[in-house]
Structure 1
Amino acid sequence: MQEHPLVWLAPAIALLFLFRLYPLIEVVRMSFTNISLIQPAYEYVGFNSYIAVITSTAFRTMARTTAIFVGASVIAQLTLGMILALAINYGVKKHIYGSVSIRIAVLSAWVIPGIVIGILWKIMLIETNYGLVNYILVQLGFNVVSFFSDPQMALFSTIMANTWRGTAFSMIMLYAGLQQVPQQLYHAAKVDGAGPIARFRHVTLPQIKPVVFINIVLITIYTVNTFDMIMSLTGGGPGRATEVLSLFMYFLGFEQFQLGRAAAVAVIMLGVNVVMTLVYVRYLLSEEEI
C-alpha cells in the first residue's frame, strides 16, 4: 500500500511551523503589545508601538544611517562584482594564469561568518600604528586614522567591510550571466568598429540586465538584514553612527527591554524584505512572459 506524501512531508512541515511560522506569528502579535522583558504583564496597544518607533528621533537617525549603509554597500558590491566578473571572464577566455586563484580568494570572503569578518576588520583597523591599515598609512607618511572613533569613518569602515564580504556574491551572479552572452554579438560589434566600452554598454549590459536586477534585489535584502558583522565590528557606535535597522531592533529588545517596539521594528524589516521579494518575483515572472 502506497503511503500518502503528507506522511513524509509531515516532519518537515512540523519543523517549519515550529521554528519558522510560529515565531513569525508571535513577533507580529507582540508588535501590537507593550510587552517588556522586565514587566511580565502586558496589554494590546494596537499600532502604538509602530507609531512610537517611527516617530522617535532615534529611528530617524537609524533610518538615515541604514539608507546610507545599504545604498553605498549595494553600489560598491555591484561595481566591484562587475569589475571582478569581467576580469575573471576575460582571464578564463584568454587562459591567463591566476584566474582560478582570484576566484578562490574572492569567494573565501563570502563563506566566512559575518561575526568573524567583523573581528578581522576590527583587528586590521585598530586606531594605532599597530593596526595593519594604520601601520601601512604611517609608513607611507600619513597620520593614524580614527576608523572607529570618528562617526563618518566608522560608517565608512562598516561599508568597506560589508562590501568586502558581499562582493563575492555579486561576482558569482554576474560571472554566471556573462557566460550566457553569445560570442557572435561581440564579434559583430567588433566588425562594426565598437570599442571595449561600447561593447560593454550596448552588448554586455543589455544581455545581463536580468541578472543585474536580480543581483541588486538579493544583495539589498542581505544588506538590510546585516547584523552580526556590524555588531562585532562597531557595535553600532560611536554613538549611533553605525546603528542600522537590525541593531536598532536588538538594542530596543535587549538593552531597553521594550520587546513590543523591537517586534514592531522586526515587522518593519519583514515588510522591507517582502517588498523586495515581490519586486524580485514580479520581475522574474515578467521575464518569463517575454
Structure 2
Amino acid sequence: MATETDRRWTNVAAVRSRASRWFSDIQEHPFFWILPAALFLGVFLLYPLVEAFRMSVTNMTLLDPTDYSYVWLDTYVRIFESPDFWGMTRVTLIFVTASVVLQLVGGMILAQAIDYGVNRGLHGSIFTRISVLSAWVIPGIVIGIVWKIMLIETRYGVINYIILQLGGDVVSFLSDGQMALLSTIVANTWRGTAFSMIMLYAGLQQVPDQLKDAARIDGASPWQRFRHVTLPLLKPVLFINIVLITIYTINTFDMILALTGGGPGRATEVLALYMYFEAFERFNLGTAGAIAVVMLVVNVFMTMIYIKYLLGEDEF
C-alpha cells in the first residue's frame, strides 16, 4: 500500500514539474506578455473598428438593428453627394487647423515659461502647471457648459460684462455663425493647450543645457537658439503631440454639443457631431458608421503627412 502511495506522489510530482517547466517556458516567450494587451485591443479597438466598417455598408438603423440589408457603397455615395457633408467638412477643417495651431503655440509658450521659472527657482511654477492642467482633466461636456455660461449674450454674461466695462457692446458669441465657430475654437484651445504644454515641457527637459550655453556663447539670439537648437531636438515630441491633438480635435463633439449644439444653423457642426446626430438623433447607424470610417481615413492620412514632413522622408 505504501509503495502504491509513493508511486502516486511521484507521478503527481512529475506532473507538477512538467507543468512548472511548461509555464516557465511560456513566461520566457514574448507572446505571453503581449497576449493581455492584444486581447484588450482586440475587444475594445479591433472589434468596434470592424463593426463600424460592417455597419457603413448597410442601411442599419437604431430603431431595429437586426433588420438591415447590405447596400455596400451607396451610403458613401450619398454622403459625398450631400452639400451638407462638404459644408461640415469645411467647418471641421477650420476648427481643427485653428485649434491645433493655437494649442501648439500656447503649449510651447507655457512650456518655455514654466521651464524658465523652474530653472531659475521662481515661485509659482507648480501652481501654474496645476492651474493649466485643470482645464485638461475637466470633461468636455462640463467645459462646454462653463463656456456657454461665460458667453451668455446679455450684459450679465461674464465675457460680455467685461466688454461692457471696457466700453464695448454686447457681442453675439453664440447666435452669430462666425462668432460661434470662433468661440468653439477658443474653448477647445483653452481645453487642449494643457496637453501640448505637458508634452513640450517633457521634451524641453531632454534638451542639453550645454548646447544652449554653447549657442549663447557663440552670440546666438534667443530666437536663434530656439530655432536651431531647441526646435530640432523637439521634433519627435512635436510629431507625437501634433498627431495626438489632431486626432483629439477631429473627434471632438462633446464640448461643441454642450456649447453650441452645432448651431446656429450648422455653423459649428463638425463631422464628429454630425456622426453623433446621425446615430442617436436620426438613428441612421449605417450613415454614422460611414462617417466614422471617413474620419478614420482622414486621421490616418493626416498622420502619414506628419510623418513625411516632420520626421523626414527616410522614416516614412
Query: Which residue identity lines up with residue 245 of structure 2 in the other structure?
Result: I
Aligned with residue 146 of structure 1, among 150, 172, 178: 172
Query: Which residue identity lines up with residue 189 of structure 1 in the other structure?
Result: A
* Deviation per residue, 1:235-265 (Å, 9 max, x gap): 1111111111111111222232322111100
The CA distance in 2 between the partners of 1:13 and 1:209, in whole Å, is: 30
Displacement of 1:273 after TM fit?
2.8
The CA distance in 2 between the partners of 1:186 and 1:199, in whole Å, is: 7
Q: CA RMSD in A?
A: 2.5
The CA distance in 1 between the partners of 2:164 and 2:193, in whole Å, is: 28
Query: Which residue identity lines up with residue 89 of structure 2 in the other structure?
Result: A
8 A Cα contact 1:214 1:280, kept in partner:
no
- Counting only pairs closer than 5 Å after superposition, residues 176-191 of structure 1 correspond to structure 2 as 176-191=202-217
Structure 1 residue aligned with 2:5: none
Structure 2 residue aligned with 1:160: 186
Displacement of 1:9 after TM fit?
8.0
Displacement of 1:144 after TM fit?
0.7
Question: Are residues 1:31 and 2:56 paired?
Answer: yes
SS at match of 2:234: helix
SS at match of 2:267: coil
Structure 2 residue aligned with 1:48: 74
Q: TM-score, normalised by structure 2?
A: 0.84
SS at match of 2:123: coil
| 112-121 or 268-277, larger mean C-alpha shift | 268-277
| 124-133 or 5-14, larger mean C-alpha shift | 5-14
SS at match of 1:71: helix
Q: 1:272 and 1:185, CA in 2 relative to 1: closer, same or farther beyond 3 A?
A: same
- Counting only pairs closer than 5 Å after superposition, residues 227-242 of structure 1 correspond to structure 2 as 227-242=253-268
Q: Which runs of 5+ in 2 are unaligned?
A: 1-18
Structure 1 residue aligned with 2:155: 129
8 A Cα contact 2:180 2:268, kept in partner:
yes
Aligned with residue 294 of structure 2, among 232, 256, 268: 268
SS at match of 1:164: helix
Question: Are residues 1:71 and 2:97 paired?
Answer: yes
* Deviation per residue, 1:211-242 (Å, 9 max, x gap): 11221111101101111111111111111111
Q: 1:75 and 1:11, CA in 2 relative to 1: closer, same or farther beyond 3 A?
A: closer
Higher relative contact order (CA 8 A, sep 6+): 1
Q: Which runs of 5+ in 1 are unaligned?
A: none
Displacement of 1:110 after TM fit?
0.7
8 A Cα contact 2:247 2:299, kept in partner:
yes
The CA distance in 2 between the partners of 1:274 and 1:60, in whole Å, is: 19
SS at match of 1:146: coil
Q: 1:192 and 1:20, CA in 2 relative to 1: closer, same or farther beyond 3 A?
A: closer
Structure 2 residue aligned with 1:253: 279
The CA distance in 2 between the partners of 1:193 and 1:286, in whole Å, is: 29
Displacement of 1:21 after TM fit?
3.1
SS at match of 1:22: helix
Displacement of 1:154 after TM fit?
0.4
Displacement of 1:135 after TM fit?
0.8
Q: TM-score, normalised by structure 1?
A: 0.91
Query: Which residue identity lines up with residue 84 of structure 1 in the other structure?
Result: L
- Counting only pairs closer than 5 Å after superposition, residues 68-147 of structure 1 correspond to structure 2 as 68-147=94-173
Structure 2 residue aligned with 1:174: 200
Q: How many residues align?
A: 289
Larger gyration radius, structure 1 or structure 2: 2
SS at match of 2:67: coil
| 173-182 or 151-160, larger mean C-alpha shift | 173-182
8 A Cα contact 1:234 1:242, kept in partner:
yes
Displacement of 1:194 after TM fit?
1.4
| 167-176 or 206-215, larger mean C-alpha shift | 206-215
Report the identity percentage. 65
* Deviation per residue, 1:97-137 (Å, 9 max, x gap): 11111111001111111111111111111111111111111
Displacement of 1:11 after TM fit?
7.5
SS at match of 2:175: coil
Displacement of 1:10 after TM fit?
7.4
Displacement of 1:206 after TM fit?
1.6
